Amino acid sequence: MKYTSLGKTGLGVSNLSLGTMAFGRWIDEKASIEILDAALDAGINVIDTANFYGKGQDESFKYGTGESEEIIGRNLKGRRDKVVLATKVGLPMGQDINDFGLSRFHIMREVEGSLKRLQTDYIDLYQVHRFDNETPLEETLSALSDLVKQGKVRYIGCSNYAAWQMAKAGGISNLLGLESFVSSQSQYNLLSRELENEVVPFCLSESMGLLVYSPMARGMLSGKYKSRHELPEDSRAARGEQLIQNYFTDENFERVEQYKKLAEEHDVNLSQFSLSWILNQPAVTSAIVGASKLHHVTDAVQISDWAWTQELQKQVASI
Ligand SMILES: NC(=O)c1ccc[n+]([C@@H]2O[C@H](COP(=O)([O-])OP(=O)(O)OC[C@H]3O[C@@H](n4cnc5c(N)ncnc54)[C@H](OP(=O)(O)O)[C@@H]3O)[C@@H](O)[C@H]2O)c1
């Protein structure tokens, strides 16, 4: 396992992180623990979750019910101080007007819920899940800074922010002497490279950590989907995940076949190849692997320090 610092901070993080969106949503506690144990045993030290992750996401009401945080909380005992625990706030946790967003009201209430479910008294990285157009950034950053002062949160990060939103937040933090976001969590993979236009250059310029989510395009880059009509049983698409459907285009199915050929030429499977590509892109601090089966973690770990070459970079660029 390779380790690096998270952005400008002194916080050491593994280049693979464990994503736990499946915990308590698509897989039960027993399967979740198996994955958690394997990840920590292999040296992964970042666990990413959110108050929103759990069964509620798939209910008709679509608000967070906290199962992922609860499972982590129950099973991190004795290991908490070795782990960089990252969670998020901002997506709906109920139907009332203040049950979502990044107001002081919502943040202050939700941090208590996360701490309780995670059975800890501090969160290492507290991330705002997405930009909130309704709340002034000054209010959000001031609430987050108070949490850092209170010792409930150690670092703050953003997720799904555009570069201009990160720049605006950075300016406000500097001007008002508030805590600054140290990392951005964003979607980035071989089939979705929009981040390279603005966010990647911004992270490089400002030394922000970049935590990549959906490095395998929600499973599309594992090669398990042959067409939008053949969904393997026990896959996320078969379980009804909506967002993976965005990847099901004819062009993507073709590109996946080409990447698969290239991976086979190098004796790795497509999932490992896709992961290795992302780990070797400039600005990427850590790839958050979304495991729903034990072998997703063991496959990922095997590739975490695989030597990527300039030649491969060129071959990928030609696809
Ligand atoms: N900030 C945000 O807005 C946001 C959004 C999404 C995710 N996230 C975070 O990022 C994490 C990862 O996201 P993601 O789950 O979309 O990541 P991903 O790594 O792109 O997709 C994970 C899925 O790929 C498949 N997979 C992974 N390894 C495989 C392997 N070796 N062989 C075959 N299939 C494999 C599995 O699909 P099956 O389960 O179908 O087998 C797995 O559930 C989440 O858990 C969450 O922590 C954050």
Domains by residue range for the chain, with CATH: 3-220+274-306 (3.20.20.100)
**What pLDDT, on a 0 to 100 scale, did the predictor assign at position 307?**
86
Residue among 46, 84, 189, 214 whose CB has most ligand 1 atoms within 8 A, to mutate: 214
213 lines ligand 1 (CB under 6 A): yes
Nearest atom, ligand 1, residue 295 CA? 31
Compute the distance from residue 151 Cα to the ligand 1 centre, in Å: 31
**pLDDT tens per residue, range 145-194:** 999 999 999 999 999 999 999 999 999 999 999 999 999 999 999 999 99
Residue among 125, 218, 243 whose CB has most ligand 1 atoms within 8 A, to mutate: 218
117 lines ligand 1 (CB under 6 A): no
Q: How far apart are CA 236 and CA 219, in angstroms?
A: 8
**What pLDDT, on a 0 to 100 scale, did the predictor assign at position 304?**
85
**What pLDDT, on a 0 to 100 scale, did the predictor assign at position 106?**
98
Measured N-to-C along each axis, helices 67-75 and 29-41 cross at an angle, to the nearest 10 degrees, of 60
**pLDDT tens per residue, range 202-212:** 999 999 999 99
- Under a CB-based contact definition with an 8 Å cutoff, are residues 158 and 127 in contact? yes
217 CB burial (10 A radius; 0-12, 13-18, 19+): buried
Residues of the chain with pLDDT under 70: none
Name residues whose C-beta falls within 8 Å of residue 45's C-beta, 6 or more positions apart in sequence.
Answer: 3, 12, 13, 14, 82, 83, 84
- Under a CB-based contact definition with an 8 Å cutoff, are residues 219 and 248 in contact? no
Percent helix / strand / coil, the chain, rounded to 5: 45, 15, 40
91 lines ligand 1 (CB under 6 A): no
**What pLDDT, on a 0 to 100 scale, did the predictor assign at position 160?**
98
299 lines ligand 1 (CB under 6 A): yes
292 lines ligand 1 (CB under 6 A): yes
25 lines ligand 1 (CB under 6 A): no
Q: In angstroms, what is the C-alpha Rg of the chain? A: 19
Compute the distance from residue 53 Cα to the ligand 1 centre, in Å: 13
Q: How far apart are CA 174 and CA 168, in angstroms?
A: 10
- Whose CA is closest to 214, among 180, 246, 254? 246
- Under a CB-based contact definition with an 8 Å cutoff, are residues 218 and 290 in contact? yes
**What pLDDT, on a 0 to 100 scale, did the predictor assign at position 142?**
98
Q: How far apart are CA 128 and CA 113, in angstroms?
A: 15
**pLDDT tens per residue, range 184-202:** 999 999 999 999 999 999 9
**What pLDDT, on a 0 to 100 scale, did the predictor assign at position 245?**
92
Residue 53 annotated among the catalytic residues of the structure = yes
Compute the distance from residue 236 Cα to the ligand 1 centre, in Å: 9
